[in-house]
Structure 1
Amino acid sequence: TKLEQTDDALKVARDTLRQFIAEGPAEAELTQAKSNLSGGFPLRIDSNRKILDYLSVIGFYNLPLDYLDTWVNKVNAVDVAAVRQAFARRLNADKLVTVVVGAEGAR
């Protein structure tokens, strides 16, 4: 982003985040995201190394042993309301800290 567009870019980012927290994704956006996640899942476990990585995560976070078997169905069960609720629980757009990096003294 050009220096003179920094404030505008930050406003757009904050407004977009506030809207997403309030409304959640559009149904088509969520459908596309779920399709991408579930369709790409086999590639996430297509080697012994990747499976071992997942087993490590399952053990570390004490996830159920059927985690890999149920993951796709759980992703596909997510709806717009659940996304909205998760964002509302975890994010407060008014309390976010923004860090802008650029040349010293540029602003």
Structure 2
Amino acid sequence: MLVMFNCMDKENQQNKRFEVLKDHLLWVENNMSAIKVAGPQLHPHSDRIIGSFYIIEADSIEDAHMLFQTDPYYIAGIWKVVSTAEFKGYAGTWVGGKNWPEF
């Protein structure tokens, strides 16, 4: 299953993000097989990072959470809000076109 994590930063987390960046990127590299897409969310009118977005593949939402909670950014407490939901990749170039179920 695919699990989406939409993470919005607390105020003024840029310095903490950069302090933990090396460990975070190592975590990403070590978990690349489970991470289907991940990256920063940017403020619409600047290059300032305001959050992170992940789609993680796991056997269950609980397993995805257990992996996600080992991310150094999570451990550093930079996020104010984290929304989680199962994700269905039914269409788009990243999922190979259209993949929705037959009706």
TM norm. shorter chain > 0.5:
no
Into which bin does the TM-score normalised by the smaller protein fall? under 0.3
Higher strand share: 2
TM-score, structure 2 normalization: 0.26
